[in-house]
């Protein structure tokens, strides 16, 4: 059977041709937008003092135990001299900012403009809410001004932040800082796969890389791990 000729008029209208000049112009302006996000982030966050970044799902409801865990964690961090940095949105992020505000500590929100219009939660300090269009300047701010990561149950975005931090420390692009996973129940399956497949079977990582991660079940344990680390090391920016 003869093939039906392609009807050029029926091609997907999304594939519109752009000439190189238009592409170059768009890219050039994007550079300035990206620079502005870095500059604002550096200027605003350089004054916040030692903070811990808290990660977890935006879908976590206030009735979920992990929401309450994140709020208590943030509260305890403020009582130990740390501020809190979150992604600024709902769920675990909201709980983290809520706990920091309840504890009278620094409450930072790094919000991101998304297609489903993530809105900043109401528990962020007025002068410490930053809105980003691009993910990568935002991710730099999470790491640069954090003295540790505490990672609660979450989805792909949470995993992205976790593995980026591990990679940066593993490759010595930044200094070591505490990376703490909250909940053996949630994380043990992933860690078992990493140990059995990535390490033992394929040798894609080294055994010492696993020492970068601690798993705990309570806010008190998480704060204790961070305090133990900083009995040996000084607080400082990570880049």
Domain membership of residue 14 (yes or no) is no
Q: How many domains does the chain have?
A: 1
Domain membership of residue 239 (yes or no) is no
Domain membership of residue 4 (yes or no) is no
Domain membership of residue 94 (yes or no) is yes
Q: Which domain holds residue 205?
A: 19-229
Predicted confidence (pLDDT) at residue 233 exceeds the cutoff of 80 = no
Domain membership of residue 53 (yes or no) is yes
CATH number, position 96: 3.40.50.450
Domain membership of residue 103 (yes or no) is yes
More confident residue, 116 or 159: 159
Domain membership of residue 108 (yes or no) is yes
Query: What are the DSSP calls for the chain, one per residue?
Result: -PPPPP-GGGS-TT-----HHHHHHHHHHHHHHHHHHHHHHHHHHTTS-SEEEEE--TT--TTSHHHHHHHHHHHHHHHTT-EEEE-SSSTHHHHHHHHHHHTT--EEEEEE--TT-PPPPTTS-GGGEEEESSHHHHHHHHHHT-S-EEE-S--HHHHHHHHHHHHHHHTTSS----EEEE-HHHHHHHHHHIIIIIIIIT--S-GGGGGGEEEESSHHHHHHHHHHHTTTS------
2-22 per-position pLDDT tens digit: 555 555 554 555 556 666 666
Taking residues 178-205, what's their average pLDDT?
97
94-137 per-position pLDDT tens digit: 999 999 999 999 999 999 987 765 689 999 999 999 999 999 99
Predicted confidence (pLDDT) at residue 235 exceeds the cutoff of 80 = no
Domain membership of residue 210 (yes or no) is yes
């Amino acid at each position: 059977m003869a093939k039906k000729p392609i009807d050029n008029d029926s091609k997907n209208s999304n594939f519109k041709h752009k000439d190189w000049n238009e592409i170059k112009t768009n890219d050039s302006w994007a550079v300035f937008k990206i620079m502005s996000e870095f500059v604002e982030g550096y200027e605003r966050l350089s004054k916040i003092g030692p903070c811990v970044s808290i990660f977890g799902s935006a879908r976590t409801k206030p009735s979920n135990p992990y929401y309450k865990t994140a709020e208590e964690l943030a509260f305890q961090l403020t009582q130990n001299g740390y501020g809190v940095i979150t992604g600024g949105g709902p769920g675990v992020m909201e709980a983290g900012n809520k706990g920091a505000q309840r504890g009278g500590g620094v409450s930072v929100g790094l919000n991101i403009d998304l297609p489903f219009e993530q809105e900043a939660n109401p528990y962020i300090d007025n002068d410490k809410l930053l809105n980003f269009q691009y993910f990568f300047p935002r991710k730099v701010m999470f790491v640069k001004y954090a003295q540790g990561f505490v990672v609660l149950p979450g989805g792909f975005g949470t995993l992205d932040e976790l593995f980026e931090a591990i990679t940066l420390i593993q490759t010595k692009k930044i200094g070591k800082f505490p990376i703490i996973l909250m909940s053996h129940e949630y994380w043990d399956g992933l860690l078992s796969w990493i140990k059995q497949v990535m390490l033992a079977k394929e040798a894609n990582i080294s055994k010492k890389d696993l020492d970068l991660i601690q798993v705990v079940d309570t806010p008190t344990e998480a704060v204790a791990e961070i305090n133990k680390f900083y009995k040996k090391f000084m607080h400082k920016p990570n880049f």
